[in-house]
Amino acid sequence: MNAIWTEKYRPRSFEEFQGQPEIVQRVKAMIEQKNLPHMIFCGPAGVGKTTLALVIARQLFGENWRENFLELNASDTRGIDTIRITVKEFARTKSIGTDLQKIILLDEADALTRDAQQALRRTMETYSRTARFVLSANAFSKLIDPIKSRCAVFKFKPLEQEQVESIINRIAKSENIKVKPDARSLLFEVSRGDLRRVENMLQTAAAITKEVTLDHIKQVASKAEPKDIKDILTLAAVKKDFIEARKKLLYTMASEGLSGLDVIPEFQRQIWSLDGISDQKKLSMIQLCARTEFRIVEGSDEFLQLEALLAGFAKDDSH
């Protein structure tokens, strides 16, 4: 269900594309000159990397864009055979209805194995007369240097609040729903500039009511109340009451439907507002949050790791 709005409101032209104005300006100039290089779009999720590649294809090829555009999600098909067979077969033929090069979008290209990236490097060289590559990546550092040196790099930023609210307004008007101002602010805060997440949460909330309030967004966002998180931190780090902090944490997670990965970023945000502890202690707490999140992502038991995190907060560092 939630993918419907993401596709429905995907921009079809540069005029509809909101955000990343500097990048859009550079890309438009390249298209006007019919001189498109290999490109790397890097940045966080949901900020328009894939969408901009689709807009480029539409602008270059018009009605024939589907025949001259190949999109692959490299996280699903990331082996060397994908590059040697699927990509190579598409790249070796000329475009249909135009003399311009085809466009191959490798989404999540940072998930490609190193062998696949080495094969891709050679393919980019061999078929440069018939194809241009757009590599979309969240982690720029995971791409090998030979690929980076062959591409123009575009670094995307998270969308700003004004841009997100402008898109919310357009969706609300089209879908005939009302979104309260405090709900808009929470949408932006929870999404952290990820428009895909904004649309998913808004669509889910709109299925409940045509007048979206702060409470509706809280229901679909799996976000703890800042006061509850601050109370847990105060119990553990200031009052050194591990047992009560643990009870409060488990109750909050159960009542709000939160996972460990939902809780830790909230801890990190609220740590700086704590009173009664030193800045040095706060720095140590941030480090503990980072280690705990890494362990949970790697597959450790989240409740055990969260208990260890609270124990670290409650530990007396004075000696």
- The 10s digit of each residue's pLDDT in 58-88 is 999 988 899 999 988 755 665 677 777 888 8
| Nearest alpha-carbon partner for 270 in 227, 217, 315, 208 | 227
Whether residue 318 has pLDDT greater than 60 = no
Does the domain formed by 161-221 have CATH 3.40.50.150? no
Residue 12, pLDDT score: 86
Top mean pLDDT of 76-80, 143-147, 261-265 is at 143-147
Task: Give residue 29's region: left, alpha or beta (phi > 0; psi -120 to 50).
Answer: alpha
Domain boundaries 226-314, corresponding CATH code: 1.20.272.10
- Asked if pLDDT for residue 1 goes beyond 70, the answer is no
Q: What pLDDT digit, counting tens, does each position of 270-284 carry?
A: 998 898 889 999 999
What is the structure's pLDDT at 303? 92
Mean pLDDT along residues 162-185: 89
Instruction: Say if residue 163's pLDDT is above 80.
Output: yes
pLDDT band at 195 (very low <50, low <70, confident <90, very high): confident
pLDDT tens track for 86-141? 888 888 888 888 888 999 999 888 888 888 888 888 888 899 899 999 999 998 99
Percent of the chain whose pLDDT exceeds 90: 39
> By the 8 A CB rule, do 303 and 292 touch?
no
Q: Which two tokens stand for residue 236?
A: 């553990």
| pLDDT confidence band for 39 (50 / 70 / 90) | very high
- Spatial separation of the C-alpha atoms in residues 265 and 239, rounded to whole Å: 22
Amino acid letter, residue 163: Q
Structural domain spans, the chain: 20-155, 161-221, 226-314
Averaged pLDDT, 11-19 = 85
Count of helix runs (H) and strand runs (E) in the chain: 16, 7
Is residue 27 predicted with pLDDT exceeding 80? yes
pLDDT at 119: 86
- Tell me the chain's radius of gyration from C-alpha atoms: 23
β-sheet bridge partners, residue 131: 102
Residue 317 pLDDT: 63
Q: Which residues pair with 153 in a beta bridge?
A: 40
CATH number of 20-155: 3.40.50.300
- pLDDT for residue 2: 53
Residue 237 has pLDDT above 50, yes or no: yes
Residue with tokens 């005939």: 176
